[in-house]
Amino acid sequence: MTVRRLQYFVAVADELSFTAAARVLHMAQPPLSMQIRELEHELGVDLFRRGPRGVALTAAGQALLPEARQLLERYDLLPLVARRAGSGEVGRLAVGLVPSAANGRLPGVLHRFRGKFPDVHVSLVEDRPAELLRQLDAGHLDIVLQYSPPVRPAHGGRVLAEEAFVVALPPGHRLAARRSIPLQALAEEPFIMPMRHGGEGLYERIIKLLADHQVVPDVVQSDIWLLQTIVGLVAAGVGLSIVPESASVIRGGEVIYRPIAAQLDPVPLVAVWRLADESPTVRRFVAEWA
């Protein structure tokens, strides 16, 4: 029993004539008769009663017809299912985020992506960079957004956005009067550091930035997971901190953001994925940032 034989069967059942069905199927009548006869032989039952002027369905044929129709419908849809999944129009996308990356353009990108591909289920996971990369390799994540380019050959990456660092100050702070803050000025200030989680994260970026300018910060608070919390502590007057520019939308009135008075490398936000997959869903998600 093949799909084609079922198609032949349905055609003959529709036309109630071998000759007419053969015309519809763009084939000669004898092979059609053969195929139907073969099908009947395989099934062990007659599907048609042959008459001199056309054919009629037997009980078995009547029972088989709707089943065959349903099957052929599903069968015809299979290529579509595969192609849609292959082109990334359906499926799932698990995005891993370094905590501080959950800001800036991400909400807008997510919104547009979900609008374009409503059949793709997007899930967000927030964790430390090392853990995210582990889950990426394990296949639990499809893409990781972090602040450093991929270091493993199995990973592909692309810079999604570049952000400058800014200094976050409480309003009324003496440095708030200046338009830009020299890094050296921070040495004399109480400083708030984010969570340190190994690899090249926000913590390491800031440490390196300060070290490059021979500044030793007076850390009064550290190991903060979320940028929101850091900004909150700044607003409360605990100290000041360095955050990505995109964080400056947080607590507009209560915290002052000032650029750093130095020529700095911008911080890249990098998407990392498995090269082995090259999932079109991932490609489309990355393309959304362009």
Partner DNA sequence: TTATCGACATATGATTAAGATATGACCGTA
Partner DNA sequence: TACGGTCATATCTTAATCATATGTCGATAA
Which C-beta is closer to a copy of itself: that of 93 or that of 235?
93
Tokens of 247: 């964080």
The residue whose two tokens read 């299912």 is: 81
**Strand duo 165-169 + 241-244: pairing:** antiparallel
Task: Choose between 48 and 273: whose C-beta lies nearer to DNA.
Answer: 48
Cβ nearer to DNA, comparing 37 with 121:
37
- Please tell me the distance from the alpha carbon of residue 159 to that of residue 145, in angstroms, as a whole number: 9
Question: For the residues of 66-104, what is the DSSP string, one character each?
Answer: HHHHHHHHHHHHHHHHHHHHHTTSSEEEEEEE-GGGSST
- We find the least distance from the C-beta atom of residue 123 to a copy of itself, in angstroms, to be 15
Buried b (16+ CB within 10 A) or exposed e, 58-84: eeebeebbeebeeeeeeeeeeeeeeee
Q: How far is the CB of 19 from a copy of itself (least distance, A)?
A: 20
Question: Which CB sits closer to DNA, 54 or 190?
Answer: 54
Are the beta carbons of 16 and 55 closer than 8 angstroms?
yes
Quick one: what does residue 38 bind among DNA, a copy of itself, none, with the CB cut-off 5 to 8 Å set by partner type? DNA
Q: Tell me which of DNA, a copy of itself, none is bound by residue 118, counting a contact when its beta carbon lies within the kind-specific cut-off of 5 to 8 angstroms.
A: none
What does the binding site for DNA look like in residue numbers (CB under 7 A)?
Answer: 2, 4-5, 17-20, 26-31, 33-38, 50-55
CA distance 32 to 14: 14
Beta-carbon contacts of residue 103 (< 8 Å; ≥ 6 apart): 227, 244, 246, 247, 249, 250
Q: Minimal distance in Å, beta carbon 22 to DNA?
A: 7
* Partner interacting with residue 34 (select from a copy of itself, DNA, none; CB below 5-8 Å by kind): DNA
One-character DSSP codes across 1-18: --HHHHHHHHHHHHHT-H
116: partner contacted, choices a copy of itself, DNA, none (Cβ within 5-8 A by kind)? none
CB of 243 to DNA, least distance (A): 41
* Residue 204 contacts which entry, a copy of itself, DNA, none (Cβ below 5-8 A, type-dependent): none
Partner that binds at residue 19, options a copy of itself, DNA, none, CB closer than 5 to 8 Å by kind: DNA
Q: Name the site residues for a copy of itself (rule: CB under 8 A).
A: 1-4, 6, 42-47, 49, 51, 56, 58-64, 67-68, 70-71, 74-75, 77-79, 81-88, 90-91, 276-277, 279-281
